[in-house]
Amino acid sequence: MHFFLFGFNLPDLLSTKAVMNSEYQQATKNLKALNSIIPEGLEQRIDLLRVSVREKEGLRDSFKIDDKFEKDENELFLIQDRLNQIKDSINSVVLKKNTLIERIKAVEDSLFKDDVRTIEYMYKEAGVLDIDIQKKFKQTIEFHNSMLSKEISYLRDRVVRKDNENKALNDEYTCIASQYNNVLKKLGSMGSLREYTELNNEIERYKMDISSIETQINQLKKATKDKINAEKNLEDLSFKLEESINTFKSLNLQKFNSYFSRFSNELYKEKWFVTFSPNEERTLFKFNIDSLTQNTGSGKKQMLVASFDIAYMAYIQDKDIKLPYPRFATQDKVEIIDISYLEKLYEMVFTVNGQLILPIIEDKFDSFTNPEIKDAIIV
């Protein structure tokens, strides 16, 4: 609430940082989980497998098969090519499904579930200021969760479709693999063709291992990239947040304190100012007022509140700030304020082009020495 009144969008930055931090934590968990189940040395292993495939393919290509087997051989190659295509499609579907599942987890983590400690503090302040924002905040959270729930439902539907695609591809693979085995059996029954068939089987096993390793390597690369990107985004936002805080201190807060200290000094010869202190994690920020001397009685406290309000009227009209907020404030319990200080308040309000609304009993009103004050009466 204080940031809003001072014209600063820090809550938006904090909300974005919370989302990015959640994404970074999720990316870190995903990478850690993959590293725990995927063995080391995959790239070295796949290099050796590729060398073995080239060697075995060289031996296979050197075989001389009679013309009468050419038709069956060509059919075998066509079936094998189709099997390879199906395997690639299966790996692609599995990868896309895993990506969808990761996205579902990320969206579920984005659902608003936790009770933020600062929300209650903001609501209490809103009650003091007579601003009903709790209902709007609740509606915003409900809308946010509703949109995320719809996205989760959509993603789950896509996962089901991917499962169906995967099943259809595996069924097709099983059927075509049966045809492949039948052709191999036919060719393998012919003398030296058994060795040819064994080579094909061995090459096929190597290629399946290569495809599996490639999928794992791609998953690791993607998870590593996701973590790096999430970490960089979080670092960039943290830097932006720190810059924004420094700007807020050097411009907004310093500008307000120049008015607050001036008006409090005109009243009591004491320079009061607003302090701003974040916690170590930059997630909670506390405002307070302070001065070199803090001996304030009841009447003095009311005057300080009034000088704060007048300083705020001047602040929002400053050429470097220009906030479109109302230039008036209300005060009560002014019966404990001396008449001379009320006249000073009038003069200060007049200089900042603002309005101070307060009740005054008739006896005290008649005691004013400044005749212009009577012209300032609204009711």
In single-letter form, the type of residue at position 84 comes to: N
Beta pairing, strands 272-278 & 328-330? unpaired
Residue by residue, pLDDT tens for the chain (379 residues) are 566 677 666 667 777 877 888 888 888 988 888 888 778 888 888 899 889 988 888 887 776 655 555 666 677 788 888 888 888 888 888 888 888 888 888 877 766 655 544 444 544 555 544 445 555 656 666 666 777 788 888 888 988 998 998 889 899 888 988 888 887 776 656 545 667 778 888 888 988 998 888 888 888 889 999 999 989 988 888 888 888 788 878 888 888 888 888 888 888 788 888 887 777 766 677 778 788 666 555 457 777 888 888 888 888 888 888 877 777 777 776 666 776 777 787 788 888 888 877 777 766 666 676 667 666 665 4
Q: How far apart are CA 353 and CA 316, in angstroms?
A: 11
pLDDT of residue 229: 93
Q: Which two tokens stand for residue 130?
A: 């007579």
Residues in the chain: 379
Q: Which two tokens stand for residue 125?
A: 């302040």
Q: What angle do CA 359, 363, 368 make, to 5 degrees?
A: 80
pLDDT of residue 131: 47
Q: Is 222 exposed, middle or buried (0-12, 13-18, 19+ CB in 10 A)?
A: middle
pTM of the shown model? 0.45
pLDDT of residue 188: 59
